[in-house]
């Protein structure tokens, strides 16, 4: 049985694809779609970069912006695939690696998060 959110997501995707196909019917429409996606994706990535030093989902927002850009640009698609592969590799290392690898990986992550929190607190003070 399909969940209701999945049905809504499929409808939204289908509507987007129909709209995109209509826009792609002309060269000016194709340029407009590319320009709109480029502006929106860059804006989302910019918001993510601003949120990086703050506690929160900065990296998730950056990856969402990259996913938006990947809808229209091959370079962004390649970068997104590379990023996913590295994230999966790191996750596998943490799950299946030795205890030393796990401690170093998670410890490094905690250091990065602590550093970001300290920087954000200094910026606020």
Average pLDDT over all residues of the chain: 84
What pLDDT is recorded for position 93?
78
Q: Report the alpha-carbon distance of residue 119 to residue 121 in Å, rounded.
A: 5
Contacts of 105 (CB under 8 A, 6+ apart): 90, 93, 94, 97
Instruction: Note down the domain range covering 25.
Output: 4-124
What pLDDT is recorded for position 13?
86
Average pLDDT rounded to a whole number, residues 113-117: 75
How confident is the model over 64-108, as pLDDT tens digits?
Answer: 999 999 988 999 999 999 988 988 888 887 788 788 877 887 788
What pLDDT is recorded for position 125?
61
Asked if 33 and 21 count as a contact pair (C-beta separation under 8 A), the reply is no
pLDDT tops 80 at residue 37: yes
Tokens representing 53 are 């030093």
> What is the number of structural domains in the chain?
1
């Amino acid at each position: 049985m399909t969940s209701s959110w999945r049905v809504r997501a499929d409808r939204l995707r289908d509507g987007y694809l129909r709209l995109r196909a209509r826009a792609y019917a002309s060269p000016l429409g194709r340029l407009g779609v590319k320009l709109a996606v480029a502006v929106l994706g860059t804006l989302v990535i910019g918001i993510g970069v601003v949120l990086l030093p703050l506690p929160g989902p900065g990296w998730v927002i950056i990856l969402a912006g990259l996913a938006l850009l990947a809808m229209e640009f091959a370079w962004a698609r390649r970068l997104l695939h590379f990023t996913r592969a590295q994230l999966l590799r790191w996750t596998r290392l943490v799950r299946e690696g030795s205890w030393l690898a796990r401690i170093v990986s998670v410890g490094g992550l905690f250091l990065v998060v602590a550093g970001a929190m300290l920087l954000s607190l200094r910026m606020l003070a």
